[in-house]
A and B are shown apart, each in its own frame.
Chain A
Amino acid sequence: MFFLLIGTAIGLALAANLFRFHVSAYLNKLIFSVAPLLLIEAFVAFYGLEHLRWMILFFIGIAGYSYKLKGGLNAAGFSFILVAVQTKGIFLLDLPVYLTIGAGSGLVTHYLIHKKRDHHRWTNMLMEQSKHLQVFREVSTTMQRTLQQDLLLKVILTSVTAGHGLGFNRAMIFLSANGSKSLKGVVGVGPMDVKKGYEVWEKISEDKLKLRDLIEHNFDSNFTDPELNDILKSLDIPYDEQNVFGMALSSQKPVIVNHIDKNDSSQVLINALFRTEEFAVIPLINQGKNIGILLIDNIVNKRPITLQDTENIIPLSNQAAIALDHANLYEQIEEMALRDGLTGLLNQRAFQTILNDHFPFEGQCRGPLSLIIFDIDFFKVFNDKNGHLLGNEVLMKLAKVIVQSLRHGDYSFRFGGEEFVVLLPDTTLEQAEVIAEIIRQNVETASFPGEDTQPNGTLTVSIGTACTSHPAISTKNELIDAADQALYKAKNAGKNTVVSFKEFVSID
């Protein structure tokens, strides 16, 4: 009989577990509460009714555990009636005991659940903080490794949108334009609509793409709607105290836009272009300098952006602002190191680098590289008569004329003094001669200060050209020498003329 009852206990527990997880939470609890009652009835069937009064406490305890105070009290009342019906006698003193057990088990369970929820809430909060700390730590480390603005932007956007990061559906960066109160759209990550968002999300999960892959492919059309970046790059939004961008920058705090304010043209523009009803603007500020703004929204899952969200993004945006500012300063310094301070043209150092990059070394499938070298005719005389300050003005004006005479992809350099060089990648000697002649004519027709003191009454240049397609030219120095000899020939030929290295060879 003992083993039969133990078997019944096991069978009832298994049967209850087998069914209760397939039904609703309420029925689950009901099944688990009724099973002990059936076990008690089995014992009653074997041992008689005299033990029912105390055995029923097990049912009351389980009911209190399952349904808390209300369940415990109901079970106590039900048990009192059940005992009375089955034993055909009323034991009034049992009722307070049943109620105490029912209420006790219910209250203890309630207390324990409450404590557990508290613990769970704390754990969640700490995990959330741990996650943000982890994101911040990883992003900071990554940012410290580079001064390339492009890579920095990708890291910032990925950390804001990736699941491991802050998990926003879309993020866009606008940077301050130097010297003007406007923000230029630079780059964004995220879909233009919900459908595209789910497609990208599915593809990322399907391909099990890692963050490194995402950073590499972020701006690939497979992962980012090119339409978003096309629109973004065309934007140059002025900001003032009245619009949302200006408000975020002047208050140095994030601004959440829940409803589009029709009086703010920038909000209306963002709403119209990016189909977003709710977004947040996070200022990127370093030491009081406006670097730009980060615009975030949840276009796909429509999750509202909370103050907590923006609070979490601030450490990241501050770090991003410092990194972007440093990268920008580094770029400026790098640019200054490669440019001539007076004319703004590239300098000797840049010439060596670019010549090296474009020179068609043997075995490389590169087009011919042409070089134009020229200097101002009678410039010593000009300086003697007009002074060096006016001479500098002429050099500045000449630089502008040179730049206007060139094609996209051509490089112009100030070689030293009044000597200038132009590098023409993928250009034959014949094409170089045409460009050289354009430069000569433009200089001759342009108006320069003090040019009336020149022997011919106008400022002119003598030009020599050479090209790597010539069989005698196989090194960089030979190219420069050839153009230099052609220039020398042009000087000797009466100045204000173009002489190419080919002509020099044919004359000899």
Chain B
Amino acid sequence: MIELTFIMGVLIFLMTAALTSRHLYSFSMKSYSRQITAHFGFKVSELHYSYDQMIYFISLPTTLPYVKSAVKEDLVIEQDYSSFFYPVLKGIRISLNDKGQKLYLAYLPIGNFRLPHLDKLQNDGQIDEQTYLKISISKLLHPKTLQEVREEVYKQLQVGRY
């Protein structure tokens, strides 16, 4: 009985840690970003960014009929983390669910998500790469940014870049 209780306790400990780690990781990134940006006198929401380095896996504009006919809401954005217990955001995946089949359309690695103001601060030696990464994660995970990324991918699929 004691053995079973302990095993249950261990499993619940691990499940709780795994299920809450990404949310609390994201929360810590936001909290850290808030502190740093307040120190420099700006807000994360005011930062301009570029998703120009998004990597697409299909032609732009697409000629695939089922992708062309997709609506914006069909696009699924997933956060790509390195692990459950020690999560680090690697990027975001944009895919399309077509009759239960997942078709990957694009991927934005976090290292390719560039923010000009942070580039400038980093170049001036005011922030380091780690701080840059934490603020950019916080910005990328913001619901408004994710919505804009969805709209951008949708536009690219419909009209292309050039």
Contacts and interface: CB of A to CB of B under 8 A. Distances in A.
Interface stretch (B37-45, B64-72, B94-102, B113-121): B113-121
Contact of A142 (B21, B116, B162): B162
A43 interface: yes
Contacts of A206: 48
Interface string B126-161: 000000000000000000000000000000000011
A313 B85 CA distance: 40
Report the interface size class on chain A. Answer: 35 or more
Given A5-B5, A194-B123, A16 B162 contact: no
B13 A13 contact: yes
B123 A14 contact: no
A198 B119 contact: yes
A55 interface: yes
B2 A47 contact: yes
B56 to A, nearest CB: 6
Give the one of B9, B24, B57, B116 with max A CB within 10 A.
B9
B20 A14 contact: yes
Interface in A104-157: 116, 120, 124, 127, 130-131, 134, 137-138, 141-142, 155
A22 B162 contact: no
Given A17-B20, A58-B10, A205-B48, A130 B116 contact: no
A61 to B, nearest CB: 9
Given A9-B9, A164-B54, A204-B50, A198 B17 contact: no
A435 B27 CA distance: 79
Contacts of A6: 8-9, 12
B24 A17 contact: yes
B162 A211 contact: yes
B52 A16 contact: no
A205 B50 contact: yes
Interface string A1-29: 01001101110111011100110000011
A301 B120 CA distance: 9
B83 to A, nearest CB: 8
Contacts of B52: 162-164
Contacts of A202: 48, 116-117, 120
A16 B17 contact: yes
A212 to B, nearest CB: 6
B58 to A, nearest CB: 9
A51 B24 CA distance: 33
Contacts of B85: 32, 65
Interface residues of B, number: 49
A235 interface: no
Interface in A467-484: none
A5 B109 CA distance: 41
Contacts of B5: 2, 5, 43
A12 B15 CA distance: 12
Contacts of A36: 10, 13
B119 A39 contact: no
A477 B74 CA distance: 62
B123 A301 contact: yes
Contact of B53 (A10, A58, A164, A300): A164
Contact of B16 (A5, A10, A163): A10
A376 interface: no
A215 interface: yes
Interface of B: 2-3, 5-6, 8-10, 12-14, 16-17, 20-21, 24-25, 27-29, 31-32, 48-50, 52-57, 59-60, 82, 85-86, 90, 107, 109, 112, 114-117, 119-120, 123, 160-162
15 contacts: A5-B5, A9-B16, A12-B13, A17-B16, A35-B17, A47-B2, A58-B10, A124-B109, A134-B55, A163-B52, A198-B119, A201-B119, A202-B48, A202-B116, A212-B161
What are the 9 closest A-B residue pairs judged by CB atoms, nearest first? A163-B52, A21-B28, A13-B16, A205-B48, A9-B13, A13-B17, A202-B116, A201-B116, A9-B9
Given A32-B86, A65-B85, 12 more contacts: A2-B5, A9-B10, A9-B16, A13-B14, A35-B13, A36-B13, A39-B10, A43-B6, A55-B6, A66-B86, A201-B119, A212-B162
